[in-house]
């Protein structure tokens, strides 16, 4: 029996599920039939490491209660327990087939003494060419933070740059790390950022760089962004050096709309921005290739110290699942989950420890289930 259900009376689970299905049936006439297809959607599921499996189980409980027509193909995929992990080729083939994946965070052990440089995350991204990581950082109702009304999108190129796993010790005590920047991938991520801004009604794109020091590498990235900006005259374009960017994020984050960054800078800005709106437990993200999408939390923390303690915040993973449902043309279900999460956070009666409460993962999950209802 799962940790989430062993302390929950079965009658409560059944009653929650009945209430959801009753609400859905009562409002069925208000829902466009095209948005509630009879066919079911297949989705690859990677629970991840640390508290990942607990958070994924929370999503599964919500999906079950709401009767969402999604079938998960689950794979244990980990480099912490490599003997039990599914092969990379099998996981990548499943994602390529389904074209959509819900993924927990994968831990990356220190391989400095074994010679292995590329992490499993990097191998998966390169295998599927998941070049664009998109993290939507947004102030959530009911979560206290220093800044209000934050709403920015961080778009990060994640298949080259500092995370190319190209390091070597040329002579004893001297290590060289290669940062790879190419015009093709810089132009591709710049186009993705401007296309995203256009599609989502955004007004401005900010290119984050360090071209004043890395004149060739970051200079190429910045030049690619500048060239792409000329093709989108209706989108405002600005350049910002990364160290200034981090200061501006802390002092005046509302000025940012869409940010496009190389690999390392994006990783840092993702985590900084997540801290501004409540932490890693409340920010959703996704990684895109030309053919598939992997939905995962926006800030990559496994919280291994919290495993099995029933204290992890499932908000980020639930928001990932809502984004996934919109992506696979089930927007009504996605909005239903988003509304339920917002309602629980706004009410403030059920909060996990990371956002100032004492509630457990299971209590938050069933609070979300209790608040599920079809949007009018």
Question: Is 22 a residue whose pLDDT tops 50?
Answer: no
Q: Residue 304 has what pLDDT? A: 80
Which of 256, 276, 296 is a domain's end point? 276
What's the pLDDT band for 114 if we cut at 50, 70, 90? Answer: low
With tokens 């501004």, the residue in question is 276
Question: Is 327 a residue whose pLDDT tops 50?
Answer: yes
Residues of 325-342 as b/e, b for ≥16 C-beta within 10 angstroms? bebbebbbbbbbbbbbbb
Domain count across the chain: 2
Q: Residue 11 has what pLDDT? A: 34
Q: Residue 306 has what pLDDT? A: 81
Q: Residue 111 has what pLDDT? A: 62
Q: Residue 39 has what pLDDT? A: 79
User: Rounded mean pLDDT of 23-43?
Assistant: 53
Does residue 139 fall inside a structural domain?
no
User: Rounded mean pLDDT of 300-315?
Assistant: 87
* Between 302 and 197, the higher pLDDT residue: 197
Question: Is 25 a residue whose pLDDT tops 80?
Answer: no
Which of 243, 260, 276 is a domain's end point? 276
Q: Residue 303 has what pLDDT? A: 83
What's the pLDDT band for 112 if we cut at 50, 70, 90? Answer: low
DSSP string, 286-316: EEE-SS-EEEEESS----GGGTTSS----HH
Highest mean pLDDT among 21-35, 97-111, 278-292: 278-292
Joined tokens for residue 91? 């996981």
Distances, alpha carbon 41 to alpha carbons 21, 96, 101, 332, 349, in Å: 19, 14, 11, 15, 34
* Between 192 and 163, the higher pLDDT residue: 192
- Poorest-confidence range of 15-24, 69-78, 338-347? 15-24
Q: Judge if 271 and 290 occupy the same domain.
A: no
Question: Is 7 a residue whose pLDDT tops 60?
Answer: no
Q: Judge if 125 and 151 occupy the same domain.
A: no
- CB-based contacts of 37, cutoff 8 Å, min separation 6: 69, 329, 330
Mean per-residue pLDDT over the chain, rounded: 88
Cross-strand bridge partners of residue 137: 152
Measured CA to CA, the distance from residue 37 to residue 32 in angstroms comes to: 10
Q: Judge if 130 and 183 occupy the same domain.
A: no
Q: Residue 34 has what pLDDT? A: 43
Q: What counts of helices (H) and strands (E) characterise the chain? A: 11, 12
* Between 307 and 135, the higher pLDDT residue: 135
Q: Residue 18 has what pLDDT? A: 45
Does residue 140 fall inside a structural domain?
no
129 touches 289 (CB < 8 A): yes
pTM of the entire predicted model: 0.87
Q: Residue 38 has what pLDDT? A: 54
Q: Judge if 198 and 111 occupy the same domain.
A: no
Q: Is 288 left (phi over 0), alpha (psi -120 to 50) or beta?
A: beta
Q: Residue 323 has what pLDDT? A: 97
* Between 187 and 40, the higher pLDDT residue: 187
Q: Judge if 272 and 287 occupy the same domain.
A: no
Residue pLDDT, tens place only, 170-222: 899 999 999 999 999 999 999 999 999 999 999 999 999 999 999 999 999 99
Where do the H-state alpha helices sit in the chain?
Answer: 10-26, 52-66, 88-98, 120-128, 183-199, 217-229, 242-251, 263-276, 315-327, 331-347, 361-370
88-98 and 120-128 helices cross at what angle (nearest 10)? 40
Measured CA to CA, the distance from residue 278 to residue 176 in angstroms comes to: 37
Q: Judge if 119 and 191 occupy the same domain.
A: no
Does residue 42 fall inside a structural domain?
yes
Measure the CA angle with vertex 122, ends 117 and 124; round to 5°: 130
Does residue 141 fall inside a structural domain?
no
Domain that holds residue 191: 146-276
Question: Is 32 a residue whose pLDDT tops 60?
Answer: no
- Give the domain CATH number at 297: 3.40.718.10
- CB-based contacts of 21, cutoff 8 Å, min separation 6: 67
- Poorest-confidence range of 165-169, 282-286, 347-351? 165-169
Q: Residue 305 has what pLDDT? A: 79
Contacts 24+ apart (CB under 8 A), 118-124: 118/165, 119/79, 119/165, 120/77, 120/78, 120/79, 120/85, 120/88, 122/163, 122/165, 123/88, 124/88, 124/91, 124/92, 124/294
- CB-based contacts of 127, cutoff 8 Å, min separation 6: 88, 92
Measured CA to CA, the distance from residue 78 to residue 61 in angstroms comes to: 23
User: Measuring CA to CA, which residue among 150, 101, 192 is closest to residue 282?
Assistant: 150
Measured CA to CA, the distance from residue 159 to residue 297 in angstroms comes to: 18
Q: Judge if 159 and 204 occupy the same domain.
A: yes
Question: Is 233 a residue whose pLDDT tops 90?
Answer: yes
Share of the chain above pLDDT 70, in %: 88
Q: Judge if 195 and 301 occupy the same domain.
A: no
């Amino acid at each position: 029996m799962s940790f989430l259900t062993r302390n929950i009376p079965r009658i409560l689970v059944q009653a929650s599920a009945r209430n959801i299905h009753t609400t859905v049936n009562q409002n069925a006439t208000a829902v466009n039939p095209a948005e509630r297809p009879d066919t079911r959607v297949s989705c690859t599921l990677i629970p991840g490491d640390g508290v990942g499996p607990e958070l994924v189980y929370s999503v599964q409980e919500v999906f079950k209660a709401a009767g969402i027509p999604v079938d998960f193909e689950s794979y244990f995929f980990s480099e912490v327990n490599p003997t039990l992990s599914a092969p990379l080729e099998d996981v990548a083939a499943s994602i390529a087939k389904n074209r959509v994946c819900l993924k927990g965070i994968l831990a990356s052990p220190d391989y400095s003494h074994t010679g292995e440089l590329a992490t499993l995350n990097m191998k998966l991204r390169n295998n599927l060419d998941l070049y664009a990581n998109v993290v939507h950082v947004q102030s959530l109702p009911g979560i206290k933070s220093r800044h209000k009304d934050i709403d920015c999108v961080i778009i990060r190129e994640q298949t080259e740059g500092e995370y190319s796993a190209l390091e070597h010790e040329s002579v004893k005590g001297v290590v060289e790390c290669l940062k790879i920047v190419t015009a093709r991938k810089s132009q591709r991520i710049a186009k993705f950022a401007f296309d995203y801004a256009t599609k989502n009604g955004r007004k401005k794109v900010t290119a984050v760089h360090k071209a004043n020091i890395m004149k060739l590498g970051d200079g190429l990235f910045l030049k690619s962004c500048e060239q792409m900006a000329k093709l989108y005259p209706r989108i405002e374009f600005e350049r910002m050096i990364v160290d200034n960017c981090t200061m501006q994020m802390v002092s005046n984050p509302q000025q940012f709309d869409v940010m496009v960054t190389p690999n390392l800078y994006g990783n840092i800005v993702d985590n900084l921005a997540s801290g501004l709106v409540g932490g890693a437990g409340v920010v959703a993200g996704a990684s895109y290739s030309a053919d598939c999408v992997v939905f995962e939390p926006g800030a990559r923390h496994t919280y291994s110290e919290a495993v099995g303690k029933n204290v992890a915040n499932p908000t980020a993973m639930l928001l990932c699942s809502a984004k996934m449902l919109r992506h696979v043309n089930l927007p009504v279900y996605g909005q239903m989950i988003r509304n339920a999460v917002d309602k629980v956070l706004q009410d403030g009666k059920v909060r996990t420890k990371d956002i100032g409460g004492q509630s457990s993962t299971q209590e938050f999950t069933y609070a979300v289930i209790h608040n599920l209802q079809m949007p009018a």
